[in-house]
Structure 1
């Protein structure tokens, strides 16, 4: 699998994967990205020209997708509309990209016999009670809460159907919440970091009791490479790093690491249908494929992430004002 096609590779998790692959393997990588607001060419700066190519295009473009599948050994499908708040405001782009786009890719994989890995989210499972001792597993029934998570659930089911009906050589991974470099400032952790760096107070949805299972983007990338190399066709693998933290604790930790008072944040309107808790059981991935996360210390990983945003203001600053204006309109 020396020639990889990565959809959505100019976005947050996709660009981290591209950097990880080019830094840790001999593979070449082609990125196919529509370059919406969530894609950033600067996230792909400094990559080796002899092993990297950027193609600007839409995964719904069947002609382009067919041409690209014809010259790659494997495809990793990160491309997705992924922001819950945006899906509540306008669900249609989520249907177009997450459902029709995935269908278009699967048809090309079917035609060319291409190895296909589909990136999904733990949000397809809905949420857990805060005091529930259980975690999501590969057997947990789907129970999505938002237009975003429902379209990701639909795309997962398409992949499963194309494996069973047409023999597509596909695997699926559902990952918990990622953090790390290159994440758009509309997302929770970079929004809070850049608020503090810009002299503004962080914003906390509701009471901040909602729990997320955080994983560093590099650990997500290493897990995906492991699945590409060792994963069983037709199987689903959950990716998590035992990083459960509630939003209040994360905001307070960001403030503390930036030398601010832990209570120097504002409460804002909660998100409609805000899931309570996500928690991933990644034991199948660890025991069957031998994967382990490198960033087991969330506080250390967060410190590295804060340092990256401090050192890369030119990357995030152009996005910041418009993002905050949109949140202000929503009372958030």
Structure 2
């Protein structure tokens, strides 16, 4: 299979590319993997260094809004795994236009290209945030979409476009919706790498409000393995939730990160809560478990310890990113 991976130099996309090229999950390895990435602030070619010498890897710097380029790249591929997105909620609150253009119009551009040239499978990677907030229980894939931030609204829009292109045109699209990811190579504006790097550098960390917001944590390897299961066996037109099974309040997560870095609560600064901050996310993974045999494999305690150690030992990777972004 020849794969096109959009956003493949970002955190999750690069993990997927490294994993499929090294046969991390077993099964048939791809004949060729083309990565297209605009290399915005969150895209980093260094994320692909472990596989940069693999002859099957091709990198193209490009924008998913570039319709002629997308048509050419999809025309050379058997399947598309679409990660490319603006994804930071805080950035969407201060400026939503880039989120609409990349997440909505960019996805529509890709779907149009897939329609014109044909493709065997198109996996659109989305987020649990499209469901809104849930106080008890867990969302299944039939839950109505009720996004509450410009980011999640843009992702919900792209999900609905994917559904429409399947229903109207028969484009073989699957949508995946994941919970909060963590792991190596995550851009340090996200909570776990931001907190770890700040704390090991002697700095402080911000905690929204009372830290009562609850998230389900999913190791990036479990997420990418779930995506690959959907690529190989997911039914076109269907949505698959991918979760990690570890729910923590932000305060509980902060306590674990303080412990892991040998620091204390005097490093924590309470800040004004995020506008429209969803209280709790929780996805039901019964569908992907039953149909495709997915289970999260990385225990959170081990995954978090490994992630903290990775950031401890990879200062040369993250320090320039933080300096450039002034995080």
Same fold, TM-score > 0.5, yes or no? yes
- Structure 1 stretches of 5 or more lacking a match? 326-332
- Paired with 2:98 and 2:263, the residues of 1 have a C-alpha distance of 39
Is it true that 1:85 corresponds to 2:100 in the alignment?
Answer: no
- 1:234 has 2:237 as partner: yes
Secondary structure of 1:207 counterpart: coil
SS at match of 1:45: helix
8 Å contact 2:6–2:81 — kept in the other structure? Answer: yes
* Displacement of 1:320: 1.5
Give the paired residue count: 320
For 1:253 and 1:122, how far apart are their aligned partners in 2? 23
Identify the range of structure 1 (160-169 vs 285-294) with the bigger mean alpha-carbon deviation: 285-294
Separation in 2 of the partners of 1:178 and 1:283?
A: 19
Report if the CA contact (8 A) 1:174-1:239 is conserved. Answer: yes
Q: Which one of the candidate residues 129, 132, 137 is aligned to 1:123?
A: 129
Equivalences for residues 37-56 of structure 1 within 5 A: 37-47=41-51, 48-56=53-61
TM score, norm. by length of structure 1: 0.94
Where in structure 2 are there 5+ consecutive unaligned residues? none
CA distance in structure 1 between the aligned counterparts of 2:249 and 2:162, rounded to whole angstroms: 32
Q: 1:263 Cα shift?
A: 5.6
Quote the residue 2:17 is aligned against: 18
- After superposition, residues 273-312 of structure 1 pair within 5 angstroms as 273-295=276-298, 297-312=299-314
Maintained 8 Å contact 1:32/1:56: yes
Q: Distance in 2 between matches of 1:206 and 1:185?
A: 21
Check if 1:159 corresponds to 2:167. Answer: no
2:18·2:50 contact (CA, 8 Å) conserved in 1? no
Q: Please state whether the residue corresponding to 1:241 is helix, strand or coil.
A: coil
Cα separation, 1, equivalents of 2:236 and 2:323: 44
- Secondary structure of 1:310's match? helix
Q: Is 1:121–1:174's contact at 8 Å kept on the other side of the alignment? A: yes
**1:208 pairs with 207, 211, 214, which one?**
211
Distance 2:117 2:273 in 1: 46
Q: Does 1:113 align with 2:112?
A: no
Determine if the alignment matches structure 1 residue 59 to structure 2 residue 64: yes
Deviation string 1:246-302 (CA, Å, 9 cap, x unpaired) is 11111110110122235642211211111100001101000111111111x211110
2:75 match: 70
Shift, 1:324, TM fit:
4.6
Which residue is equivalent to 2:107?
102
TM-score (norm 2): 0.95
Are the counterparts in 2 of residues 113 and 169 from structure 1 also a CA contact under 8 Å? Answer: no
- Which residue is 2:37 aligned to? 33
CA distance in 2: counterparts of 1:218 and 1:263, whole angstroms: 33
Measured on the aligned residues, the alpha-carbon RMSD in Å equals 1.2
Q: Distance in 1 between matches of 2:103 and 2:226?
A: 22
